[in-house]
Amino acid sequence: MADAISNFSAPMTSGQTFELSGRPARYTVLFFYPKDNTPGCTTENMAFRDLHEQFQAAGTEIYGISRDSIRSHEGFKAKLGLPFELISDPEEALCQQFGVMKMKQMYGKTVRGIERSTFVIDAQGQLVKEWRGVKVAGHVDEVLEFVAHQA
């Protein structure tokens, strides 16, 4: 795979700005999720939270991304006690770059939203693994297994 990812910057929680270039981590995990404070997204964020130390031990930084505002993200992060930052993408620039906007069925209606997706980028800015159309159950374990077994 190993596709180069264009550098980008985006606002994130804790008053910081995410910059892809120059990330010190061996791997950067970007996980796109539809919306703060919804059941599946809460479960997914808590799963990344609960395995955060193991990701850190594998030289991996985690960032969640949705179209929610920084204010929404700050509340969501505090409520769940997330040890990682959340990136706000209200203009969908990152969603477009990673191709995660899809038409989906929700409660019998067709809506446009984020397809739950996860991307692993190495320290050189190369995309080394992606998961699209993610189901929450077991997914975070699979991502951790991937980064932990890269030598």
| The pLDDT value given to residue 2 | 58
88 Rama class: left (phi>0) / alpha (psi -120 to 50) / beta: beta
Q: Is 56's pLDDT higher than 70? A: yes
Please determine, for residue 59, whether its predicted confidence score (pLDDT) is greater than 70. Answer: yes
The domains located in the chain, with CATH, are 3-9+24-148 (3.40.30.10)
For residue 57, CA distances in Å to 40, 54, 150 come to 26, 5, 13
Whether 151 shows a pLDDT value over 60: the answer reads: no
Give me the pLDDT at residue 45, please: 98
Each residue's pLDDT tens digit, 79-126: 999 999 999 999 999 999 999 999 988 788 898 999 999 999 998 899
Task: Quote the pLDDT of residue 107.
Answer: 80
Spot the catalytic one: 30, 41, 62, 147: 41
Burial class (CB in 10 A: 0-12, 13-18, 19+), 31: buried
Could you give the 3-state DSSP secondary structure of residue 108? coil
Non-local CB neighbours of 22 within 8 Å, separated by 6+ positions? none
Name the one residue in this structure whose structure tokens are 């693994």: 129
Give the model confidence (pLDDT) of 1-23 as tens digits: 457 888 899 999 999 999 988 77
Backbone angles phi, psi at 75, to 5 degrees: -65, -45
Concerning whether 95 is annotated as a catalytic residue, the answer is no
- Confidence check: pLDDT of 42 > 60: yes
The partner residues of 32 in beta bridges, in order of sequence, read 65, 117
What digits encode the pLDDT tens for the residues 131-148?
999 999 999 999 999 999
CA distance 148 to 151: 8
pTM (predicted TM-score): 0.94
Q: What share of the chain is helix, strand, coil (3-state, %, to 5)?
A: 30, 35, 35
